Amino acid sequence: MPTQDAAAAPTGEGEAEWENAVHEAGLRMTEPRRRVLQALEQLGHATPEVLVAHLSAQGSPLPASTVYRNLESLARAGLVRHSHMHEGVAAYHLPTHGQHLHLVCRECGRVIEAAPDLARDLARNLHRAHGFDADVTHMAIDGRCSACREERIS
């Protein structure tokens, strides 16, 4: 399974399914909630602040508190997930966004997505050595990307 990122998918795609899932979770489908899900689909993954900015940019802004509350309720319902990246800030994404490791370059800040298979060895090692059940589906890994390393061949 290639890492190919769902290049800015044509908006308005899984909207009907969302409504379903939202209702099944005992939640209501509202306009702000739909916009949050939509934005997440477009961005792939984003921090709360980025979402607020994104939503402000396209059309009417959504109050930060609404964005935060939606992320929380949707996360509790399993409709969105969160992982840690971007220098320690939690970022959210749709479960359908696919599982992958986040390679965070400490120099340029870029986030590269890698296949979770690459961490399978690690997970197995940790389980054997510590009985630790690692979640490597959205793990953030710090380091330097190839581009930045080349720039500094000094």
For binding to a second copy (CB under 8 A), which residues are involved? 83-84, 87-90, 101, 103, 105-106, 112, 114-115, 118-119, 121-122, 125-126, 129-136, 139-146, 149
Candidate residues 38, 39, 43, 48; the one interacting with DNA per rule CB under 7 A: 48
Closer Cβ to a second copy, 16 or 152, answer by number? 152
Contacts of 65 (CB under 8 A, 6+ apart): none
Is 93 a residue that touches DNA (CB under 7 A)? Answer: no
What's the min distance (Å) between Cβ of 97 and DNA? 19
Contacts of 153 (CB under 8 A, 6+ apart): none
Q: What is the DSSP string of 18-84?
A: HHHHHHHTT----HHHHHHHHHHHHHSEE-HHHHHHHHHHSSS---HHHHHHHHHHHHHTTSSEEEE
Q: Which residues, numbered 7-26, are part of the site for DNA (CB under 7 A)?
A: 19, 22-23
What's the min distance (Å) between Cβ of 34 and DNA? 8
Is 32 a residue that touches DNA (CB under 7 A)? Answer: yes
